Amino acid sequence: MHRILIGLGGNLPSWVGAPRITLEAALAALEEAGVRVVARSSWYTSAPVPASDQPWFVNGVVSAETDLGPEALLGVLHGVEAAFGRVREEKNGARTLDLDLLAHGNTVESAKSPLLPHPRLHERAFVMVPLAEIAPEWRHPVLNRTAAEILAAIPAGPEVLQRI
């Protein structure tokens, strides 16, 4: 069994409803696909990064367990995204659902997809705030710093986070 971290986000409604409802439904779909959620963060709203006029996002992080390897798990994540209407048209564009594989155990992969740990997670407060909420002692396998240490080092920026 592998311990994994998944980032969830969205800022457009899907066929099931508003972004928060979509994220809740996506968690149920992940459970049905064999991804057992062990802990989940609060939901947060955050301004789009980079700044734009698109709607604010709802974000969260879950810690989960699965027997799936990284590539198979990424396929499941993309399948769940598609089931909720995710269309990949433009980088950093508005979306119904975004499921990011943040970490898969202590796997480090920098040559092929999925890149692990997620290459930008340590730069993003909208990922690190909910991650540190549920797993403050999680240690980044490349940076060798805990989630709490990484979060404390993120400089204040234009990003605004609010717990909902």
Give the residue numbers annotated as catalytic, written as ranges: 86, 95, 98, 100
d(CA 134, CA 62): 8
Would you tell me how many other CB atoms lie within 10 Å of the CB of residue 112? 9
Q: What are phi and psi of 163, to 5 degrees?
A: -70, 135
Longest dimension (CA), the chain: 41
Helices 70-83 and 19-32 cross at an angle (nearest 10°) of 140
Q: Tell me if the bond preceding 114 is cis, omega within 30° of 0.
A: yes
Helical (H) or strand (E) element with 101: strand 98-104
d(CA 147, CA 133): 9
Residue type at 10?
A: G
**β-pair partners for 5:** 63, 103
